[in-house]
A and B are shown apart, each in its own frame.
Chain A
Amino acid sequence: MPDALPTAAESRLDSAIRQLKFRDPETARKLAGTIARVTKEIGRSPVSVMHVCGSHEQAIAKFGLRATFPKDLNVIMGPGCPVCITDMPEVDEGVALARQGLLIASYGDMLKVRGTVQSLNDAQADGADVAVVYSASQAVELARSTDREVVFFATGFETTAVATAAVIRSNPPKNFSVLSAHKYIPPVMEIVAEMPENRVEGFLAAGHAATITGWGIFEAFAEKHRLPVVVAGFEPLDILAGLARLVELVRDREPAVVNMFPRCVTKEGNRRAQEELWSVFRPVGGRWRGIAHVPNGNLRLRDEWAHLDARRRFPIDLASLWDYAPSALTADCICGDIMSGIASPSNCKLFGKECVPDTPVGACMVSSEGTCKIWHQYGGHPDLGAL
């Protein structure tokens, strides 16, 4: 074994072992009892709350938490997977640039997601050059290692957008540019809050995004919609404690914002990260896959960074894509309804049959944060209460 890496890796293992202390089943049982009791006190059925984060769904599925939720409590999955909500025309832009001979770098999961007709993987099979990177800085390194134009197809919420902003501000080489499909979570909560189909009575907000934005950002939202918001982490006890607090706020009709993830999240958030984010990006309206138009939900490069904006540097010839017919299966895909919390994967006739992780039809089956992929990985959510 080489001696070069151990320190960082060892400390990662140590910290991972420390995380295990947040997994006490006895405390979990008490919290589940609180959730059941308070939900009953509300006296309505169902009480619907929504989490807006793929990592929350993954923890809920992995630890089997859904089986402990009372039948009267409906914990809905919201639009929380950055891969799933990247809109088809955004993928089309990446595919078109790849087919025009540029080297496209993106996160691995993005390669599998279909645009209107093709995925980046399909384009690669047709001879285009596509590279998998694990970070924005790795895309910059790729550009430094070649004379070719490298376009970083940048996706993800505010957490990854901060990393993209940092490399844009760090004087990247001239052959590097960014095709931003970054999304900003708070505006989509406005959309979902107003969807009559959902009747969401409270939100569980994502702890990692709140680490950047701070929990204070939700105060105006809670006030405006008269809905409570609880910021929660990702260990099973974090989620159960967050849900217990959330149903209490629903019961008490108290549209407050409560931070149940204080070991990472402050009211102000990470100021420096916010400055970097907003110095590079501006919020614009645009579509999210399956959700429709979200005002201020997309992040685009500001004018001063136009020279690094792939949309302004290269003509994007979308017409070159239309020779291909879209898959007939996509007509049956209900990812849009799943992401807006109206349907669950078991309502989809493709789920686990034509649509599986190796051959995904819809975007929700691609990423480890996608609802369908999570349900598939953890055996779905059959009613196991009777055993």
Chain B
Amino acid sequence: MTANLAGSRRTGLALLEERVTLKQGAGGRAMRALIEDIFLDGAPELSPKDVGPLAMDDGAALWIGDRWVVVTTDSHVVHPIFFPGGDIGRLSICGTVNDLAMMGATDVLALTCGAILEEGFPRTDLERVRASMAEACRESGAPIVTGDTKVMGRGEIDGIVLNTTGVAVTNRIVRDCGLRPGDRIVVTGAIGDHGLAIMAARHQLALEGDLRSDVAPINGLIRAALESAGESIVAMKDPTRGGLSSALHEMADKSRVGILLEETRVPVHDAVRAAGDLLGIDPLHVANEGKAVIGVAPEAAELLVETLRAHPLGREAAIVGTCLAERPGQIVLDTGFGRRLLAEPEGEPLPRIC
């Protein structure tokens, strides 16, 4: 890895630059390169049953006694902090609960919350954010058991940063690298709502009447899916930064399969597609905060979709693709009009989306 990057630096194809750029915080290849080059340097060796940082999955899983303890952490910076369909408080709970669920750990034992506030941040906004966190905790059944608060000077951070860490235990781990040729790809609902809602709000396009973030805790939905489809579910990932495209690229790359994605089957709300056209942004490349991508054995795919659709957060679930032995690591997009490769996003078109 290091040698390759040194080579690319010489040729001008610099994934890693001398200073950190926003692109490196936005999902996709550049962010993964930064993490691999800096933060995974010297990562610990874990026992074979464990899932550690080198797996770059949604969380870590540590085999303790007769089951796994799953741990994940996430920091939340979003602009604007209040947006159609949610706010940074709801986002901070859902992001961590959903990461645990993507590892197969749907019953959350505990969350922690670290809040860093900017001097001058309005107290009424803080109360609104806290109430929203409490609501999301109630929906997901995840309690916040400890926390931390720091205040920084005006201009030293932008308003508010929330970090949440989550812990859960589970008898079965689901990785993001378990896809096999022939497996079907299922999404649990419409794609692109969060990213386009944020961008419309940020650009003050006043499009938000039909554009709402999908931010929601989906551990209950995933619990139902795992109870119904069981071992047939072979991989899961939540399509947050970099959207469905980035999630599928990562899953395909780690699993060494190709994926044929049928765009006309991907549920996308009309308002999201149209806003994407207006802004020149592909809904497949923007964040979702209440959705999952699930790899499932072909014979169980219909049953899985039926189960998901019976749940309020999975009504628009659909089978959207098939894993291929050919083109490992690549996503072939069938647009309904023709086929092309889906390029991996190099970063969000705009920073700080989740």
Q: Which residues of A contact B (CB under 8 A)?
A: 1-2, 5-6, 9-10, 12-13, 16-17, 19-20, 23, 25, 28, 32, 61-68, 236, 240, 329, 353-354, 356, 358-359, 368, 376-382, 384-387
Closest to A356 in B: B13
Closest to B258 in A: A387
The A-contacting residues of B in range 304-336, CB under 8 angstroms, are 324, 326-327, 330, 332-336
Q: Assess whether A1 is in contact with B332, with CB atoms less than 8 Å apart.
A: no
From the candidates A20, A359, A387, name the one contacting B260 in the complex (CB within 8 A): A387
Distance from B280 Cβ to chain A, minimum over Cβ atoms (Å): 7
- Do A63 and B343 form a contact, CB below 8 Å, given A5-B206, A16-B277, A387-B324? no
- Do A387 and B332 form a contact, CB below 8 Å, given A5-B205, A353-B11? yes
Q: Assess whether B338 is in contact with A68, with CB atoms less than 8 Å apart.
A: yes
Chain B residues whose C-beta falls within 8 Å of the C-beta of A25 in the assembled complex: 264, 336-337
Chain B residues whose C-beta falls within 8 Å of the C-beta of A61 in the assembled complex: 340
Q: Assess whether A64 is in contact with B324, with CB atoms less than 8 Å apart.
A: no
Q: Assess whether B13 is in contact with A359, with CB atoms less than 8 Å apart.
A: yes
Cα–Cα distance between A203 and B260 once the two chains are bound (Å) = 33
B204 interface contact, C-beta 8 A: yes
Chain B residues whose C-beta falls within 8 Å of the C-beta of A329 in the assembled complex: 12
Distance from B335 Cβ to chain A, minimum over Cβ atoms (Å): 5
Distance from B270 Cβ to chain A, minimum over Cβ atoms (Å): 5
B352 interface contact, C-beta 8 A: no
Cα–Cα distance between A384 and B342 once the two chains are bound (Å) = 12
Q: Assess whether B336 is in contact with A13, with CB atoms less than 8 Å apart.
A: no
Cα–Cα distance between A17 and B278 once the two chains are bound (Å) = 10
Q: Assess whether B332 is in contact with A9, with CB atoms less than 8 Å apart.
A: no
From the candidates B13, B275, B327, B332, name the one contacting A13 in the complex (CB within 8 A): B275
From the candidates B204, B207, B341, B343, name the one contacting A384 in the complex (CB within 8 A): B341
Cα–Cα distance between A33 and B208 once the two chains are bound (Å) = 40
Cα–Cα distance between A386 and B336 once the two chains are bound (Å) = 16
Cα–Cα distance between A89 and B6 once the two chains are bound (Å) = 35
Chain B residues whose C-beta falls within 8 Å of the C-beta of A19 in the assembled complex: 274, 277
The A-contacting residues of B in range 116-145, CB under 8 angstroms, are none
From the candidates B210, B280, B336, B346, name the one contacting A368 in the complex (CB within 8 A): B280
Please indicate which of the listed interface residues B208, B209, B327, B339 has the most CB atoms of chain A within 10 Å of its own CB: B339
- Do A20 and B343 form a contact, CB below 8 Å, given A66-B338, A356-B13? no
Distance from B203 Cβ to chain A, minimum over Cβ atoms (Å): 9
From the candidates B270, B337, B341, name the one contacting A65 in the complex (CB within 8 A): B337
Chain A residues whose C-beta falls within 8 Å of the C-beta of B206 in the assembled complex: 1-2, 5-6, 9-10
Q: Assess whether B338 is in contact with A12, with CB atoms less than 8 Å apart.
A: no
Cα–Cα distance between A16 and B279 once the two chains are bound (Å) = 11
Cα–Cα distance between A377 and B208 once the two chains are bound (Å) = 28
Interface residue range, chain B: 35 or more
- Do A20 and B273 form a contact, CB below 8 Å, given A1-B208, A9-B205? yes
Distance from A383 Cβ to chain B, minimum over Cβ atoms (Å): 10
Chain B residues whose C-beta falls within 8 Å of the C-beta of A62 in the assembled complex: 335, 340
Per-residue 0/1 for B266-286: is the Cβ within 8 Å of any A Cβ (1 yes, 0 no)? Answer: 000011011101101000000
- Do A9 and B207 form a contact, CB below 8 Å, given A28-B337, A64-B335, A379-B342? yes
Q: Assess whether A20 is in contact with B338, with CB atoms less than 8 Å apart.
A: no
B185 interface contact, C-beta 8 A: no
Cα–Cα distance between A379 and B207 once the two chains are bound (Å) = 30
B201 interface contact, C-beta 8 A: yes
The 7 closest A-B pairs by CB, nearest first: A379-B341, A64-B338, A25-B336, A16-B274, A6-B206, A64-B340, A63-B337
Q: Assess whether A65 is in contact with B12, with CB atoms less than 8 Å apart.
A: no
Q: Which residues of B contact A (CB under 8 A)?
A: 11-14, 201, 204-210, 260, 264, 270-271, 273-275, 277-278, 280, 324, 326-327, 330, 332-343, 346
Closest to B344 in A: A379
Q: Assess whether A2 is in contact with B204, with CB atoms less than 8 Å apart.
A: yes
- Do A354 and B12 form a contact, CB below 8 Å, given A13-B275, A16-B277, A65-B337? yes
Cα–Cα distance between A52 and B334 once the two chains are bound (Å) = 26
Q: Assess whether A16 is in contact with B341, with CB atoms less than 8 Å apart.
A: no
Q: Other CB < 8 Å A-B pairs besides A2-B206, A63-B335, A358-B346, 8 of them? A: A12-B205, A16-B278, A63-B337, A64-B334, A66-B340, A68-B337, A359-B14, A379-B340
Closest to B333 in A: A64
Distance from A333 Cβ to chain B, minimum over Cβ atoms (Å): 13
Q: Assess whether B260 is in contact with A17, with CB atoms less than 8 Å apart.
A: no
Closest to B205 in A: A9
Chain B residues whose C-beta falls within 8 Å of the C-beta of A16 in the assembled complex: 274-275, 277-278
Cα–Cα distance between A62 and B280 once the two chains are bound (Å) = 11
Distance from A176 Cβ to chain B, minimum over Cβ atoms (Å): 28
- Do A13 and B335 form a contact, CB below 8 Å, given A356-B13, A379-B342, A387-B324? no
Q: Assess whether A17 is in contact with B271, with CB atoms less than 8 Å apart.
A: yes
Closest to A31 in B: B337
Cα–Cα distance between A120 and B208 once the two chains are bound (Å) = 37
Q: Assess whether B209 is in contact with A10, with CB atoms less than 8 Å apart.
A: yes
Q: Assess whether A353 is in contact with B273, with CB atoms less than 8 Å apart.
A: no
Closest to B340 in A: A64
Cα–Cα distance between A16 and B196 once the two chains are bound (Å) = 14
Distance from A168 Cβ to chain B, minimum over Cβ atoms (Å): 29
Chain B residues whose C-beta falls within 8 Å of the C-beta of A376 in the assembled complex: 343
Please indicate which of the listed interface residues B204, B326, B335, B341 has the most CB atoms of chain A within 10 Å of its own CB: B335
Chain A residues whose C-beta falls within 8 Å of the C-beta of B274 in the assembled complex: 13, 16-17, 19-20
Closest to B280 in A: A368
Distance from A262 Cβ to chain B, minimum over Cβ atoms (Å): 22
From the candidates A12, A353, A358, A384, name the one contacting B340 in the complex (CB within 8 A): A384
Distance from B250 Cβ to chain A, minimum over Cβ atoms (Å): 16
Cα–Cα distance between A9 and B271 once the two chains are bound (Å) = 12
Closest to A59 in B: B337
Cα–Cα distance between A386 and B14 once the two chains are bound (Å) = 34
Q: List 8 A-B contacts (CB under 8 A).
A: A32-B338, A62-B335, A63-B335, A358-B346, A359-B13, A359-B14, A376-B343, A379-B342
Closest to B334 in A: A64
Distance from B322 Cβ to chain A, minimum over Cβ atoms (Å): 10
Q: Assess whether A378 is in contact with B343, with CB atoms less than 8 Å apart.
A: yes
Chain A residues whose C-beta falls within 8 Å of the C-beta of B280 in the assembled complex: 368
- Do A13 and B271 form a contact, CB below 8 Å, given A25-B336, A61-B340, A379-B343? yes
From the candidates B201, B260, B340, B342, name the one contacting A381 in the complex (CB within 8 A): B340
Chain B residues whose C-beta falls within 8 Å of the C-beta of A32 in the assembled complex: 338
